[in-house]
Amino acid sequence: MRVSYKYVSFALGLLIWSCHPPSPKQTSESLSEGTPERGVQFSTDAFKAQTGATAVPPNVVLLTIDTLRADFISPYGGPARTPNLTQLAQNGWLFRNCFSTSMLTNPSHASIMTSLFPKDHGVYDNQSGIKNKLPTLARAMASRGYRTLAVVSFPHLNEKTSNLAQGFEHVIEATSPQRDASKAVAHALDLVDRIGTGEQFFLWVHLVDPHAPYNDSPTAIAHHNLPVKNQPMRRVIKSAPGFQRTNKWFRWAMENFHTTHPLVNRYIAEIERADTGVGQLLDGLYQRGYGTNTAYFVTSDHGENLGERDLYFHHGGLYKETLHVPLIAYLPTETPTVINELVQTIDIAPTILEATQTPLWSPMRGRPLSRIVRGKSPGRSYVFSEHMHKQMVSVRSNNGTLLLHLKDENQFPSYPMRQGKTEFYDTSSDPGELHQITTESPLKQTLRLQLEQYLNDGLNFDPRPAYAQDLDSLRALGYLE
């Protein structure tokens, strides 16, 4: 994807803010600049001493890019050309092993905003939201004096469904099943233009381009070294759940493509379009004078199945491809660092609160990531995730993964769930979680014990039923039959 120099100017802004070029910490791995993205030539002269940052708490931008697999973007070695995300990663904290709490949009975003697991906030589908008056990141930032702004791009994240507008002063809601990145960014910049000079803001922007349906794009090219196999479309049709078989776009895709790689390439093109939106946002904020004291946090709610385990173009299951999400944090005064420890998306909120000198609330499951970056505390020993409708739960350590099926479910023809079934993977020798180990081992027993403790330690808040639900948008996105 060829990116206009106009949208590379954000990179120049980032680099001007950064120290010349800061030496990564001795105990951490640094992210190499490597070869510039194709079609983009970055100026090394832009790496100059930071002159504008002060001790004043920064403005904060939280970008959640829906359905974004970490292993498909440039900072993680993926095939999508994402120069804007790459520049953020090169100048910020790159967390290589961040996992979402859910494989679904509303539960995952609820966790990001509340720093709670699904077992705590109670949201397990895209048709309900968090309870009223639950502590949220927006509420905390508003109490700190920040102007709180949001742009959401799916109707099921609108206030009447998700209830995540609590604490936000201005929210531009979704009016159609999908809003492309450029339009979402234009709305975000319009919100920023409404606030007064010198006022601090917390801005949440939700981008949805990588989510199916993958729309046609002139930047969609044939990638020949994709990290997933090219499967015949007949396997997709055989494995398709009911919500895909009845969805207009999925039916069209199954009829017009003979193999899966053309759709994977479209997924990549959608990622690149979202990255262009990121560049537009950073460029727009820089032009408005918010370059020297704005922090950026970029993550996703979940990943996407692209043929692994005969699961195609949805995010069912609790495997790495649906839960391993990017996490990039750029803070103006911090040294670029790559962090390999396990972290979760529930750690984002306390990190933002600490960076803005805002008190942490209780109860909260997350922990400030700065402590890991600075070597004051280790990463997580275990990360936990839950499937929609409480169908499954998983636990991961640095060397193992255990999945537990909690219900019988036949929604996915190629992947039936059976109550009580466990799946154990030794990720030290099988990082792709492809080969189940059925024999007992100390690691398997430890992970089973961790899951039992996790399930027995929930806050068990009741979700708020949706006041209104755009069922047509859920059908268009492939969530309902």
3-state secondary structure string, the chain? CCCCHHHHHHHHHHHHHCCCCCCCCCCCECCCCCCCCCCCCCCHHHCCCCCCCCCCCCEEEEEEECCCCHHHEHHHCCCECCHHHHHHHHCCEEEEEEECCECCHHHHHHHHHHCCCHHHHCCCCCCEECCCCCCCHHHHHHHCCCEEEEECCCHHHCHHHHCCCCCCCEEECCCCCCCCHHHHHHHHHHHHHHCCCCCCEEEEEEECCCCCCCCCCCCCCCCCCCCCCCCEHHHHHHHCCHHHHCCHHHHHHHHHCCECHHHHHHHHHHHHHHHHHHHHHHHHHHHCCCCCCEEEEEECCCCCCECHHHCECCCCCCCHHHHEEEEEEECCCCCCEEEEEEEEHHHHHHHHHHHCCCCCCCCCCCCCCHHHHCCCCCCCCCEEEECHHHCEEEEECCCCEEEEECCCECCCCCCCECCCCEEEECCCCCCCCCCCCCCCCHHHHHHHHHHHHHHCCCCCCCCEECCCCCHHHHHHCCCCC
Output the pTM of the full model.
0.88
Measured distance CA(238)–CA(61) in Å, rounded: 42
pLDDT band, very low/low/confident/very high, at 9 (cuts 50, 70, 90): very low
Looking at residues 436-453, what average pLDDT do you find? 97
What span, in angstroms and rounded, lies between the C-alpha atoms of 11 and 447?
42
Query: Which is it for the CA torsion 45, 50, 51, 53, positive or negative?
Result: positive
Short-list 212, 101, 210, 205, CA closest to 157: 205
Sign of CA dihedral 240, 246, 250, 252: positive
Q: Which of 283, 331, 375, 314 is nearest to 13 (CA)?
A: 283
Residue predicted with more confidence, 86 or 1: 86
Whether residue 361 has pLDDT greater than 50 = yes
**How confident is residue 197, by pLDDT bands cut at 50, 70 and 90?**
confident
The proportion of the chain whose per-residue pLDDT surpasses 70, expressed as a percent, equals 84
Residue 288's pLDDT band (cuts 50, 70, 90): very high
pLDDT above 70 for 314 = yes
Tokens coding 353: 């609160």
Maximum Cα–Cα distance for the chain, whole Å? 63
Q: What angle separates helix 261-287 from helix 181-194, to the nearest 10 degrees?
A: 20
Least confident of 48-57, 169-178, 363-372, 448-457: 48-57
At 271, phi and psi to the nearest 5? Answer: -60, -45
The angle formed by the CA atoms of residues 454, 389 and 118, to the nearest 5 degrees, is: 40
In this structure, the strands spanning 201-207 and 147-151 are parallel
CA 451 – CA 336 distance, rounded (Å): 34
Residue 8: per-residue pLDDT = 39
**Predicted pLDDT at 221:** 74
**Contact in structure between 147 and 128 (CB atoms under 8 Å):** no
Query: Looking at the predicted structure, is the pLDDT value of residue 270 above 80?
Result: yes
Sign of the Cα pseudo-torsion (323, 162, 210, 472, in order): positive
Give pLDDT tens digits for 386-407.
Answer: 999 999 999 999 999 999 999 9
Round to whole Å and give the CA distance between 101 and 387: 9
- Asked whether residue 355 carries a pLDDT value surpassing 70, the answer given is yes
| Sign of the dihedral through C-alpha 123, 129, 133, 136 | positive
Q: Is the pLDDT of residue 7 over 80?
A: no
User: How far apart are the C-alpha atoms of 8 and 66, rounded to whole Å?
Assistant: 23
Instruction: Name the least confident of 76-80, 174-178, 427-431.
Output: 174-178
Amino acid letter for position 474: L
Which carries the bigger pLDDT value, residue 295 or residue 160?
295
| 8 Å CB contact between 205 and 185 | yes
pLDDT at position 25? 34
More confident residue, 285 or 1: 285
**For 13-22, 79-88, 354-363, which range has the lowest pLDDT when averaged over its residues?**
13-22
Q: What is the per-residue pLDDT for 388?
A: 96
Tens digits of per-residue pLDDT, 139-174? 999 999 999 999 999 898 999 999 999 999 999 999
pLDDT at 479: 54
Read off the pLDDT of each residue in 337-366 and give the average, rounded to a whole number: 97
pLDDT at position 45, please?
29
Q: Which of 289-303, 348-362, 456-470 has the lowest mean pLDDT?
A: 456-470
Q: Examine the pLDDT at 81 and tell me if it is beyond 90.
A: yes
Specify the pLDDT at position 2. Answer: 35
pLDDT at residue number 472: 60
pLDDT in tens, 28-76: 333 433 333 333 322 222 223 333 444 689 999 999 999 999 999 999 9
Give the whole-angstrom CA distance, residue 321 versus residue 7: 30
Residue 305 above 80 pLDDT?
Answer: yes
CB 336 within 8 A of CB 90: yes
pLDDT at 471: 57
**Which pLDDT belongs to residue 234?**
97
Per-residue model confidence as pLDDT tens digits over 211-242? 999 986 666 677 778 999 999 999 999 999 99
Residue 420 CB neighbours (<10 A): 9
The second-level CATH assignment, the architecture, of 13-32+44-377+462-476 is: 3-Layer(aba) Sandwich (3.40)
Place of tokens 């492309």: 180
Count CB neighbours of 129 within 10 A: 29
Spell out a b/e string for 424-459, using b for 16 or more CB atoms within 10 Å of the CB, else e. bbbbeeeeebeeeeeeeeebbebbbebbeebeeeee
CA atoms within 13 A on the CB side of 248: 6
- Among candidates 160, 159, 251, 205, which has minimal Cα distance to 60? 205
- pLDDT of 465 reads 81
